[in-house]
Structure 1
Amino acid sequence: MTDIAQLSKWNRDLSQAISALGTDAFFPALIAAIQGQVRFDYPQVWLYHKDLPPQVLYHEIPDKALASQVDTYLDGPYREDPFYQTSMNQPRSKFYRLSRITAGKLRETQYYRDYYADTGTVDEAIYLSRLRGCNVINVCMMRLPRHGAFTEQDYETLYLLAEPISELIKSHSEHDDFAVTHLIQPGIDHQVDLAFRTFGASLLSPREKDVLELMLRGYGTDTSADRLGIALETVRRHRKSIYRKLDVSSQTDLFSLFINSLTCLGQAAGDDPLRIYMAPSQ
């Protein structure tokens, strides 16, 4: 395909994404536009905030890989993710390569040993958009062995697209429906610690509540056991009980329930916001 033909395709695909701003069709259209230029696997869109668990806003991960790619990631390793750390540390760029920010030493990290090695990913890059309220959205682009690592030409193409992609994500985030549903609003940050301490208290035992708070704060099973001074198997048993009592089946569902319940913090007045959130509508 000639450069003119490629540019024409990008313009058409980007127009589709622009038309979808503020709707659920935006991220699928944006990813399709990027993939029209560079092939990649397992597209994911993540929302990060320094005080809250990450949210996966959109993904195209097959069911068979969802647990290893998302739930395992949310069960603690995300804190060691170089992309997460970069996103929370006043990022300046709108495009990052994993090999660049790890200085080629990813395989030497605990993050690689505990999580990344099992994902089957051979290369990864992200687009990053800084939003108001310390929110950051990343569009993650992975490459699996079947496609090999990104080439230098791939990286050059992705880099050239970074500016419009980042700005489009920012524009999408400013639509009322998206902002109200997903973003931490100014003035609520100081209440987040209260939410960690009270969420689920009306349904769980005191020890289950301790385990839940560490889960929400991003600590894995091993670390939770160490911090609470209890056996690893005891933590696992408490986690199963928490899932059952809160009627969730994954870490993703648990984090979504927590974040959604934040809208009830004021009404809860220091009590469990989940009690208000799950109350039958009148």
Structure 2
Amino acid sequence: MLDVHSSGWYQLLAELTPKTGQPGFFKVLSDALGQIIHIDCTGAIFYDGTEVTNVFEGNLSPEYSEYLKQYLQGMYLLDPHYSFLSNGVETGIYRFRDIAPDCFHESKYYESFVKPVGITDEFDFIVNINNRYLDFYLNRLSGEFSAADKAALTAIAPMICYLIETHWQAQEKTSRQSTQTTYTPHYHSFFDSFGKSILTSREQEVVKCILHGHSSKSLADKLNISLSTVKIHRKNIYQKLDIKTQSELFSLCIQSLSLTESSEFDDPLSILKSKRISD
């Protein structure tokens, strides 16, 4: 592996820089980063507040490609990445474990969709482009990135993020999409509408935290409420939704995400209820 302070790495950067704005940029970037640390697969996703677009995928397994397909169809609304970006993020490198809720690996979303893919560790180069985000991710499918890997990626992050931003702006200029106007897009949360006709706004917040993988303690800290209050909210939510377990709550969520007739202003649970009555 190349040392990021070696002449070999600087030579790679010299070869990479002219590729910005070109169709094969992310493939060349992936190959370059693969010469300083071990990476199993890479990809790039663009979030603009209204939709999520797959920009690049490298060396993805069939299982990963299937997960990505479901992700783009709406599953991203349950993903910690989207929740993280919706709150506003500065350009830089982030490790997924640092942005995920404390019990993410115990969540039904992780168990049902992420775990089968086999992702064991991830770093994300996230570039803020006028309040939209380009996320270039690096995955390990076995083991974890080492401390040396983290140090190397952190050292080169400013340059890599600069190249990604330069590339994306050149691509948008080519496609005549202006990047000159700064705006604040609305990162619509599925949870803005999920259960709003049945649950209180605070209960909706609790549901969001539960489905994203927060423990009761983390949920209490995040919403600044006591553990006993969390338990009361859980009990009331389950009663109102006529369910008994977190698995049933997750099932309702997945069914709601699959509804093609709902808009961001509709409560998908009302639609589900109507469909059950009509059936």
- Normalised by the length of structure 2, the TM-score is 0.62
**Hey, what's the Cα distance between the residues in 1 that align with 2:148 and 2:114?**
25
1:137 to 2:181 alignment: no
Q: Is contact 1:13–1:32 with CA below 8 Å preserved after alignment?
A: no
1:184-263 correspondence to structure 2 within 5 Å: 186=181, 211-212=259-260, 214=262, 227-229=271-273
Given the alignment, which residue of 141, 165, 172 partners 1:170?
165
CA deviations on 1:109-145 (whole Å, 9 max, x unpaired) are: 343134212211111110010002x211011111112
1:38 to 2:41 alignment: no
Q: Is contact 1:16–1:29 with CA below 8 Å preserved after alignment?
A: no
CA deviations on 1:184-209 (whole Å, 9 max, x unpaired) are: 8859989x99xxxxxxxxxxxxxxxx
Aligned length: 207
- Matched residue type, 1:229: K
Gap change, CA 1:226 and 1:120, over 3 Å in 2: farther
Is the partner of 1:24 in helix, strand or coil? Answer: coil
1:76 to 2:74 alignment: yes
Q: Is contact 1:95–1:159 with CA below 8 Å preserved after alignment?
A: yes
Gap change, CA 1:48 and 1:2, over 3 Å in 2: closer
Q: Greater shift after overlay, 181-190 or 9-18?
A: 181-190
Gap change, CA 1:106 and 1:184, over 3 Å in 2: farther
1:180 to 2:175 alignment: yes
- CA drift at 1:103: 5.8
**Hey, what's the Cα distance between the residues in 1 that align with 2:54 and 2:260?**
20
1:19 to 2:67 alignment: no
**Hey, what's the Cα distance between the residues in 2 that align with 1:159 and 1:68?**
30
Is the partner of 2:166 in helix, strand or coil? Answer: helix
Coordinate RMSD, CA, aligned: 3.6
2:146: which partner in 1?
151
2:89: which partner in 1?
91
**Hey, what's the Cα distance between the residues in 1 that align with 2:79 and 2:171?**
30
Is the partner of 1:130 in helix, strand or coil? Answer: strand
Is the partner of 2:159 in helix, strand or coil? Answer: helix
Gap change, CA 1:36 and 1:2, over 3 Å in 2: closer
Q: Which stretches in structure 2 are left out of the alignment for 5+ residues?
A: 189-257
CA deviations on 1:26-69 (whole Å, 9 max, x unpaired) are: 1111121111111112211010122x221011111446235433
Percentage of pairs with the same residue: 21
- Matched residue type, 1:8: S
Q: Is contact 1:125–1:140 with CA below 8 Å preserved after alignment?
A: yes
Is the partner of 2:260 in helix, strand or coil? Answer: helix
Q: Greater shift after overlay, 122-131 or 91-100?
A: 91-100
Is the partner of 1:39 in helix, strand or coil? Answer: coil
Q: Greater shift after overlay, 84-93 or 149-158?
A: 84-93
- CA drift at 1:162: 0.9
- Matched residue type, 1:20: K
**Hey, what's the Cα distance between the residues in 2 that align with 1:27 and 1:72?**
22
Q: Greater shift after overlay, 119-128 or 75-84?
A: 75-84
Q: Is contact 2:125–2:157 with CA below 8 Å preserved after alignment?
A: yes
2:110: which partner in 1?
112
**Hey, what's the Cα distance between the residues in 1 that align with 2:183 and 2:155?**
36
Q: Is contact 1:135–1:183 with CA below 8 Å preserved after alignment?
A: no
- Matched residue type, 2:125: Y
Q: Identify the structure with the greater helix proportion.
A: 1
Gap change, CA 1:226 and 1:97, over 3 Å in 2: farther
Q: Is contact 1:123–1:144 with CA below 8 Å preserved after alignment?
A: yes
Gap change, CA 1:189 and 1:82, over 3 Å in 2: closer
- Normalised by the length of structure 1, the TM-score is 0.61
- Matched residue type, 1:144: L
Gap change, CA 1:16 and 1:188, over 3 Å in 2: same
